[in-house]
């Protein structure tokens, strides 16, 4: 599979990668957003990890007056969970599935793949992760929420019911309310998912303390395979 234009790939560690992290950026951002934190994660230098940072397509965002910008789906209502874009979300899910399938075809075990995302990218991570037919190594959801929450129980697949999830959020987030992030975590926990929840004293962003914890979580996930 050919990645979307302007996507970024890089390798951490030594040797031929047997582990992959697919990391989705937020609305209006780009694939350049998260590569700089890779050296700060404190990952095992002896484990080669392929990082894939896809670039979202430009699309009209209703809440922003129809302005075109990189986005995984449209936001049509005043609240991000209102009037959700089922078509855009399905398109992004299909893209994620295609990337995962390409890694499997290249010889990577699906259990060695982590799907990660920030804000809109995190919403796609939740949505695609619980619906994926592929057994993944983990889901990393940053400053985000679970879209189409009411459909999750009927749409979920068994493959990832036991997959570890690390969700984190800023206590002062003005974009994705903390309460929305928390209710999403509670909903997944009620469905039996193995989900860890962590908050940090920040807004809609990432912080060094959080980055360090993410790295520890990634190491634990990949050490368990």
Residue numbers annotated as active site: 119, 173, 204
Q: What is the DSSP code string of 149-215?
A: GGGHHHH--GGGTT--EEEEEETT-SSS-HHHHHHHHHHHHHTT--EEEEEES-SSS--HHHHHHHH
d(CA 57, CA 119): 16
Quick one: CA dihedral 25, 26, 30, 33, positive or negative? negative
d(CA 155, CA 152): 5
Residue among 182, 62, 75, 196 at smallest CA distance from 124 = 75
Reduced to 3 states (helix: H, G, I; strand: E, B; else coil), residue 102 is helix
């Amino acid at each position: 599979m050919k990645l979307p234009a302007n996507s970024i790939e890089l390798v951490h560690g030594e040797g031929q990668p047997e582990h992959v992290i697919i990391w989705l950026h937020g609305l209006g951002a780009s694939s350049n957003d998260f590569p700089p934190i890779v050296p700060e994660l404190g990952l095992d230098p002896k484990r080669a990890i392929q990082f894939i940072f896809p670039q979202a397509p430009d699309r009209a965002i209703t809440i922003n007056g129809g302005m075109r910008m990189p986005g995984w789906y449209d936001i049509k209502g005043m609240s991000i969970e209102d009037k959700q874009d089922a078509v855009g979300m399905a398109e992004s899910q299909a893209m994620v599935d295609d990337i995962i399938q390409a890694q499997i075809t290249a010889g990577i075990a699906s259990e060695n793949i982590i799907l990660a995302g920030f804000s809109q990218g995190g919403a796609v991570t939740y949505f695609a992760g619980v619906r994926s037919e592929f057994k993944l190594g983990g889901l990393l959801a940053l400053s985000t929420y679970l879209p189409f929450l009411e459909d999750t129980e009927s749409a979920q697949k068994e493959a990832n019911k036991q997959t570890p999830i690390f969700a984190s959020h800023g206590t002062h987030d003005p974009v994705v309310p903390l309460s929305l992030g928390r209710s999403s975590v509670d909903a997944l926990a009620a469905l039996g998912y193995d989900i860890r929840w962590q908050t940090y004293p920040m807004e809609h962003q990432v912080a060094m303390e959080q980055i360090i914890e993410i790295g520890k979580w990634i190491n634990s996930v990949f050490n368990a395979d």
